[in-house]
Structure 1
Amino acid sequence: MKNGTERRLLAYAYRFKKGIILGIICLMIATTLELAGPFIAKKIIDDHVLGIEGVWATIDDADQAVSFRSENYVRADRLPNPEQQTKVMTIIAIEKDYYFVNERVPLEGRREFSEGIVTITAEETIQASAEKISDAEMFAFFKPEQNPVLLLLALYMGLLLIAAVFKYFQRFLLQQASNRIIRKMRNDIFQHTQKIPMAYFVDQPAGKIVARITNDTEAIRELYERVLSIVITRIIYMVGILIAIYLLHPKLAFICLFLIPLIVIWAKLYKKFASRYNLNIRTANSEINGNISEVIHGMPIIQAFQVEEKTKGDFEQLNTEIYANHKKLIHLNALTSFNLVHALRNIAFVTFIWYFGNLSLEPTSIISIGMLYALVDYLTRLFEPITMLVNQFPLIEQARASGSRMFALMDHPGEDLKDEKIPRYNGDVKFEKVGFAYLENEYVLNDLSFHVKAGETAAFVGHTGSGKSSIMNVLFRFYDPQKGKIYIDGNDTDKWSRQQVRSHMGIVLQDPFMFSGTILSNVTMNDPNISKEAAIEALKAVGADRFIHKLPKGYDEPVTEGGSTLSLGERQLISFARALAFNPAILILDEATANIDTETEYLIQRALEVLKRGRTTLVIAHRLSTIQNADKIFVLEKGQILESGNHQELIDEQGVYYQMYQMQRGSTEPS
C-alpha cells in the first residue's frame, strides 16, 4: 500500500483527534497507575519483608520498639535521632534461618554459620559470635511491618481501581472516535459513488462496489476500533515499562531498547509479503461478491438453462483463489505471532540471566531480592504488549489493503452535486450535430440533429442498436456527447449541472425499478415536497388504484427490493404515478409499454394522455401502435435519422417506417 493511503487513514483519524487525545491521556494515567505495582512490591519485599535483616539499635521508648531479650530494639534506619543510638546488633539471614549478632557486621558477601560463629566473606572476611533466633522470636520483629505492608497493599488496590476507571474512559473514547471515523468514511464513499459519472458503473459489478462500501470499511473499522486502541495502548505501556526499568536499572533498560528495532524490521518484512496477499484477498472478495449478486439475480435463468455446474465452477475458482492467499497469510502469521515473540522473550531472559549472573560473582554488585522481583516482573510485562503489537500485523495489513481499494474508488473523478434551483423550463429540446460513443471511436449517435418544441410528443423508433436509448441517456446527462450540443429552451445543457438538467425531467423505464418501502414511498421517493395526498392522486390518475384497493394495506402495502411481489404492469403504473407526482417539464418513456399486456397497455395509454398535458414527451417506441398520435416520429438507423414526420406522413412515404408498421400488423414478411 502506498504511503498516501496511510496518510489519508491518519487524516481521517485527525478529524476526531479530540476524542483520541483524551483517550490517550486516560490511557497514560491508567498505565502509570498500573505500573506502580512492581515498585510497591519491591518496597514491601526490600523494606518490610526482608528489611528486618539489618542493624537494630536499642531505644528507651518501648511503644515503638521490639522487645527482645530484655532490650527494646528499633531498626537503625528508623531511629528518630540516629546520633542517640547506644547499643546496636545485627540480624542476618542464612538460608531459611535468622541469626542474632550482638554487634554491627556488613550485610554484603557470602555468609556461613558454624558452631556459633558467623563468617561473612566479601573484600575481607569477618567473623562474629551469633545465635539462632527462633520463629516465635522472629515474629516480634515482623509484627511492626504488618501495618505498613497492609497500607501499601491498600494503596496498590486503590491505584488499580482508579486505573480501571481511566481505562474505561480510554476504551470508550477511543472506540467512540473509531466509530465516528468509520461513519464519516462510509458517508464519504457512499456520497462519492453518487457523484461518479454513469459510465463508471457500466463495467463495474454492483457486488464489487458494495464490497468496498461495506466489507472494506469494516476492515478499516477494525483498524481504528481495535488496532488503534491496542497499538496506542501497548506502545504507551511499553514506554512506561521501559521508563520503570530505567528508574530501577538504567543498563538493563538500554539493553531492552534493542527489541524495538527488531520489531520495526520484522514489521517491514511482514508488510512486504502480507500486503500482497491481503490485496489479492480483498480483490477476490469483491469479485466473489459480484459473482454472488449476479447469480442471485439471475437464478431463474441459471436453473432454466441448467447451467448450475458452470456457475458452481466459476464460484469455486474464485473461492480457491481466496483460499490460496489465505493459506499463505496463515503461514506468515504463524511465523510472526508466537514464534517471533517467543524467540525474543527467550533471548531477553538469556541476556537477563547472563547479565545478573555475572554480577552475582561480584559480592559488591549483588542486587536485592525486591529489585530482582521488580525487574523480572517488568521484563515479563514487557513482552505482553510486544505480543499484542505483533498480533495486530494481520489486521493492519488487511486495513491497508482495504484502504487502498476504498480510496481508489474515492479517487475516481466525480462531479460536485449542484442543487441550485433553476426555473421550470418549458421543455423545448434541440439536438445539434450530436455525436456520442460509449467506447472510443465506436459512435452510436452520428451527427444527430432534431428539434422538439415544448409541449409536443416525439417518438423515436428503429431496430435494436439504432441509438434510441442513447438519445435519452445524453439528454438526461447520464453521459455527455463527444460532439455537438444539446439545448433546452435555448440553453446549452453543458452550462447547467447534471442535477439542474434533470430537475424538471421524469423518466419511465421499460422495467421500472421499485425500492424497498411502500407503494406511496415509491411514488414520493421520500421527497418532502410531495405530499401523501398528491401521491394518491397521481396513482388514481394513472389507474393504479384498481389493483391497489385489492391489497391488504392499500397504498401502504410493503414493496420488496425490485418490486418482485408486483407484476410488471403494476410496477409500470406505479412508475407512471411517480413521474406524474414530480410534474416534469420533459417526460421520457423508454419503451414503457413494450412488455405489458393489452389491458394494462390500455390503462397506460389513458395515463399517457394525462401525463402529456403541459409537458414535452419523448417516447422510445417498440409498439408502433402506441405512437400513432405523436406529433413527431423519428426513424433511426445507426445513430442517424432516416425519416421524420407524423404517423400519416410516414405511412404515405412508404419508407422504413411503413415497412416496420406493416410487419407489426402482420401484412408483410421481413425481407
Structure 2
Amino acid sequence: MTVKTTERRLFDYAWNYRKNISIGLLCLIIAVSLELTGPFIAKRVIDEHIVGIEDQWYQVSEDREGAVSFNGAVYMREDRLTDHEELNDVMTIIQVDRSYYFVEGNVPLKGSRTVEGNQIIIEAPDRTYERSAEKLSLQRLYGFFKPEIPSIYALLAVYIGLLLIASVFQFTHTYILQKSSNRIIKKMRDDLFNHIQRLPDRFFVNQPAGKIVARVTNDTESIKELYERVLATFVTSVFYMAGIFAALFLLDAKLALMCLVLLPILYGWTKLYKHFGGKYNKVVRSTVSDMNGNINEAIQGMSIIQAFGQEKQTSDEFEELNKRHFTYQRKLVRLSALTSYNLVNTLRNLTLVGLIWYFGSSSLGAEGIVTVGVLYAFVDYLNRLFQPVTDLVNQLPQLEVARVAATRVFDLLDEEEEELDLDSIPRFEGNIKFEEVRFAYDGKNDVLKDISFQVNKGETAAFVGHTGSGKSSIMNLLFRFYDPQRGSVYIDGCDTRKWSQQQVRSHMGIVLQDPFLYKGTILSNVTMNDARISREMAINALKAVGADRFIEKLGHGYDTPLNERGESLSMGERQLISFARALAFDPAILILDEATANIDTETEQMIQNALEVLKQDRTTLVIAHRLSTIQQADQIFVLNHGTIVERGTHEPLIALQGQYYKMYQMQQRGAKANAM
C-alpha cells in the first residue's frame, strides 16, 4: 500500500471540488491579467501622449485631427503621418531640463543637450548639432499637448473599466474558493467523525477525549485556513508573480532575468521555514491537544478537585502545558519577526540597487537606453512584485500550522477501524458459549484464562467477583470490543468473529454502572433518534422500568430537556432512562454491567420487578455488585483472577461455603451494620 504524503492527501480532498476550484482559479487569472494592464497603459500614456511630443513634426497642408497650428503653419507628429503623405518642412521639439524648445530641421533626439541664448547644441554619438531654437511658453506648449488629452482620457477610462471588471472576477474567485474550502472541511470533519465512531474501543482507552476533540475542531479549523486563505494567497501570488515576470520580459528581458534571482531565494527561505517552523508547530499543536485534554478532565472532575483541595496542583499542571505552548509559540513569532519582514525589505532594496546599477546615471536622461514610460512601468511592476512576495512570506507560519494540523488529522484517519458491515442478520435466539477463551488487553498479561461456560436462551446468568477478576472483560469480548487471543465466543453456535462488530451488537442491549445521557430530551435519549423506535415504544419502555413515576412530575414530561450527562437528574433516575433505552431496542441479549450498584434500594426493586416481566425470551447477563440482586439467576459464575472458580445457583453456592459464600456473608454483615 502506497503511503500518501500530507500534501497529496490535502490535494485529494481539494480534487473532490476541482470544478468549482478551477472556475475560481480561472477568475483569478482573468482578474490578475486585467490588473497588470495598468503599467502598460501608463507606459503608453507617458511615452506616446506626454513625453511623446518630443519628436519630429512635419508641416502639412491642411488642419486635421491631431494637427497643431504654430506660427501660422500646421504641423503633424511624425508617428501620426501616413506613408503616402506629402511632407514639407520638418521641425523638432526637444526638452532641455524642464523646458521645451522648437528647433528648425531634423535633429537627433539622443545625446546631451545644452542651450546658449537662442541656440541649442546637441552632442550626438556621430557629430555635434547646433540649431536655432525657440523656447515654448506654457500656453504654446499646451497646444502640442491638447490633441493628446482625449487619448489620455480614453486610456484612463479603459483602465478604470478593466479594474472594475477585475474586481468582479476577484470577488467571484474569493467567493468560490471560500465556498469550496468550507465544503472541503465539512467533508473532512464528516469523514473524521464517522471514522472515530468506527474505531475500536481500545483506541479510546489511552486517548483523552480532549485530544480527539482538538483534532476534529481545532486542527480542521487550521486546515480550513489553509484552503481559504493560505492556498488562495499562494495561488494569487504565484499567478500575480508569473504575470509580472511576463510583463518584465516584455519590457526588458535582461533586467527581468536579473529579477528571477528572487525565486531561488524565496524557495530556499520556504524550505528553511518549513524545517524549523514544522518542528515548532508540531510541539504547539500537540500541546494544544494536551491542554484540551487537561481542561476537559479538570472540568469533569472539578467537584473532586475542590473537595480534596487540589486546585493548586491542577493549576500547576495546566501552567506547565501553557508555558510549553508559550515557549514554542514565541519561537515561531521570533522566527517570523526576524526574517519575514526583513527578508522582503532586503530583497526590495537590493532589487532597487540593481535597477539603478543597470540603468546607470547616464541612462536616465533623454538620451537613455529606455524611455521614461518603460522605466515607470518597470518600477511599477517591481513594486507590485514584492506585494505577493510579502503575502507569501507572511503566510508561511499559517501554512506550517495547517500542514502540522493536517498530519495530525490524517494520523487519526489512518487508525485501524473496525470492519464496517451494516447488513442485517436474523435476531439471535440468545444461546451464548465461551470455549477456552484466553484474553489479554496488552497481548501479554492474561486477564481471562481458559474461560468456558454456556448460557442458554432465556436464562439469566450472573458474574461475580472482586475488582479485576475479569467480569467486564467477558462482556467486552461478547460485544466484540475486543477479540480473544485464543478460544472462541459463540452466539447461537456461530463464532462471533464471522460477523462484523455492528452485526454482533445489533441484537444486544447494555446498561452500564455509570449511565451516560446525551444533551436532548428524555425521549431522544431513549430512542437515540433511531427511526425504528417510535415515541410510543419509548414511552412504553420508560413505563416498563417505572420511570414514568418521576417523569410525569417534570414540567415537560417525556419531552423534558436534559443537559450534558443528565446532571439535573439523580443517579437512579438516569439509570432508569438508560435501562429503558436498552429495553426499547428489544435486544435478544441484555447485559447489565453492575447496573444497580449506584442506585437506591427502591429504584433497584423497580428494575428487578421490570426484569421479571422482560426476561421472557431474552438472555440476560448480569455483572453483579450486590449479590442480593442475583439470587434468582439461573446460573452464577464466580471469577477470581481471570478464572471461573465456582459456578451454580445461589443456594448450592451458599452451601458450598466457598468464595461466593464469603462474599455473601461479608455483604450481609455490611448491610446489618448500615441498618444499625
- TM-score scaled by length of structure 1: 0.97
Q: Select between 358-367 and 17-26 the one with higher mean Cα deviation.
A: 358-367
Contact 2:589–2:619 (CA under 8 A) maintained in structure 1: yes
1:570 paired residue among 565, 569, 573: 573
1:277 Cα deviation (Å)?
Answer: 0.5
1:363-416 CA-partner distances (Å, limit 9, x unpaired): 865311111110000011000000000111101111121122221111121123
1:405 paired residue among 389, 408, 420: 408
Equivalent position SS for 2:446: strand
Contact 1:66–1:74 (CA under 8 A) maintained in structure 2: yes
Partners of 2:124 and 2:58 lie apart in 1 by 24
Partners of 2:487 and 2:298 lie apart in 1 by 40
Counterpart position of 1:32: 33
Partners of 2:255 and 2:670 lie apart in 1 by 102
Equivalent position SS for 1:417: coil
Equivalent position SS for 1:629: coil
Shift of the 669–546 alpha-carbon distance from structure 1 to 2, 3 Å rule, reads closer
Contact 1:636–1:643 (CA under 8 A) maintained in structure 2: yes
1:122 Cα deviation (Å)?
Answer: 2.0
Equivalent position SS for 2:602: helix
1:281 paired residue among 279, 284, 293: 284
1:437-479 CA-partner distances (Å, limit 9, x unpaired): 1123211111000000001011111111111111111101111
In structure 1, the gaps of 5 or more residues are: none
Counterpart position of 2:113: 111
Counterpart position of 1:59: 60
Contact 2:635–2:648 (CA under 8 A) maintained in structure 1: yes
Counterpart position of 1:69: 71
Counterpart position of 2:214: 211
Partners of 1:150 and 1:360 lie apart in 2 by 30
Partners of 1:416 and 1:465 lie apart in 2 by 29
The letter of the residue matching 1:169 is T
1:3 Cα deviation (Å)?
Answer: 7.6
Q: Select between 588-597 and 189-198 the one with higher mean Cα deviation.
A: 189-198
The letter of the residue matching 2:27 is C
Is 1:612 aligned to residue 615 of structure 2? yes
Partners of 2:195 and 2:259 lie apart in 1 by 48
Contact 2:91–2:104 (CA under 8 A) maintained in structure 1: yes
Contact 2:96–2:114 (CA under 8 A) maintained in structure 1: yes
1:139 paired residue among 125, 139, 142: 142
Contact 2:219–2:406 (CA under 8 A) maintained in structure 1: yes
2:104 paired residue among 102, 105, 129: 102
Is 1:158 aligned to residue 161 of structure 2? yes
1:15 Cα deviation (Å)?
Answer: 2.2
1:579 Cα deviation (Å)?
Answer: 0.8
Counterpart position of 1:595: 598
Partners of 1:655 and 1:669 lie apart in 2 by 21
Question: 1:319-334, aligned counterparts within 5 Å?
Answer: 319-334=322-337
In structure 2, the gaps of 5 or more residues are: none
Partners of 2:616 and 2:537 lie apart in 1 by 17
Equivalent position SS for 1:442: coil
Contact 2:118–2:133 (CA under 8 A) maintained in structure 1: yes
Is 1:185 aligned to residue 188 of structure 2? yes
Question: 1:121-520, aligned counterparts within 5 Å?
Answer: 121-123=123-125, 124-357=127-360, 360=363, 365-520=368-523
- TM-score scaled by length of structure 2: 0.97
Equivalent position SS for 1:449: strand
Partners of 1:667 and 1:233 lie apart in 2 by 76
- Note the aligned Cα RMSD (angstroms): 1.6
Partners of 1:607 and 1:146 lie apart in 2 by 97
1:502-521 CA-partner distances (Å, limit 9, x unpaired): 00000000111001111010
The letter of the residue matching 2:533 is I
Equivalent position SS for 1:416: coil
Contact 2:633–2:649 (CA under 8 A) maintained in structure 1: yes
Partners of 1:668 and 1:225 lie apart in 2 by 65
Contact 2:469–2:642 (CA under 8 A) maintained in structure 1: yes
Contact 1:336–1:390 (CA under 8 A) maintained in structure 2: no
Counterpart position of 1:5: 6
The letter of the residue matching 1:41 is A
1:361 Cα deviation (Å)?
Answer: 8.2
Counterpart position of 2:637: 634
1:77 Cα deviation (Å)?
Answer: 1.2
Contact 2:248–2:381 (CA under 8 A) maintained in structure 1: yes
Counterpart position of 2:81: 79
Equivalent position SS for 1:596: coil
Equivalent position SS for 2:487: strand
The letter of the residue matching 1:662 is Q
1:102 Cα deviation (Å)?
Answer: 2.2
Partners of 2:23 and 2:113 lie apart in 1 by 54
1:41-60 CA-partner distances (Å, limit 9, x unpaired): 00001100111111111223
Contact 1:40–1:152 (CA under 8 A) maintained in structure 2: yes
1:82 Cα deviation (Å)?
Answer: 5.2
1:589 Cα deviation (Å)?
Answer: 0.2
1:117-137 CA-partner distances (Å, limit 9, x unpaired): 011112121110001111111
Q: Select between 295-304 and 605-614 the one with higher mean Cα deviation.
A: 605-614
Q: Select between 660-669 and 579-588 the one with higher mean Cα deviation.
A: 660-669
The letter of the residue matching 1:515 is Y
Partners of 2:404 and 2:542 lie apart in 1 by 49
Q: Select between 56-65 and 380-389 the one with higher mean Cα deviation.
A: 56-65
Contact 2:562–2:568 (CA under 8 A) maintained in structure 1: yes
Partners of 2:614 and 2:212 lie apart in 1 by 36
Partners of 1:510 and 1:587 lie apart in 2 by 14
The letter of the residue matching 2:75 is Y
Counterpart position of 1:17: 18
Q: Select between 615-624 and 362-371 the one with higher mean Cα deviation.
A: 362-371
1:143 Cα deviation (Å)?
Answer: 1.1
Counterpart position of 2:48: 47
1:669 Cα deviation (Å)?
Answer: 11
Shift of the 41–595 alpha-carbon distance from structure 1 to 2, 3 Å rule, reads same
Partners of 1:407 and 1:81 lie apart in 2 by 71
Equivalent position SS for 2:633: coil
The letter of the residue matching 2:93 is I
Contact 1:417–1:499 (CA under 8 A) maintained in structure 2: yes
The letter of the residue matching 1:48 is H
Contact 1:19–1:177 (CA under 8 A) maintained in structure 2: yes
Contact 2:109–2:366 (CA under 8 A) maintained in structure 1: no
1:545-589 CA-partner distances (Å, limit 9, x unpaired): 111111111111111111111111111110111111100000000
1:652 Cα deviation (Å)?
Answer: 2.2
Is 1:539 aligned to residue 539 of structure 2? no
Counterpart position of 1:659: 662
Contact 2:109–2:367 (CA under 8 A) maintained in structure 1: no
Partners of 2:282 and 2:115 lie apart in 1 by 71
1:21 Cα deviation (Å)?
Answer: 1.6
Q: Select between 54-63 and 631-640 the one with higher mean Cα deviation.
A: 54-63
1:613 Cα deviation (Å)?
Answer: 2.2
The letter of the residue matching 1:5 is T
Q: Select between 231-240 and 395-404 the one with higher mean Cα deviation.
A: 395-404
Partners of 1:268 and 1:82 lie apart in 2 by 62
1:106 Cα deviation (Å)?
Answer: 1.1
Partners of 2:94 and 2:254 lie apart in 1 by 30
Equivalent position SS for 1:51: helix
Report percent identity of matched pairs.
Answer: 59
Partners of 1:209 and 1:26 lie apart in 2 by 38
1:668 Cα deviation (Å)?
Answer: 11
Shift of the 518–668 alpha-carbon distance from structure 1 to 2, 3 Å rule, reads closer
Contact 1:76–1:82 (CA under 8 A) maintained in structure 2: no
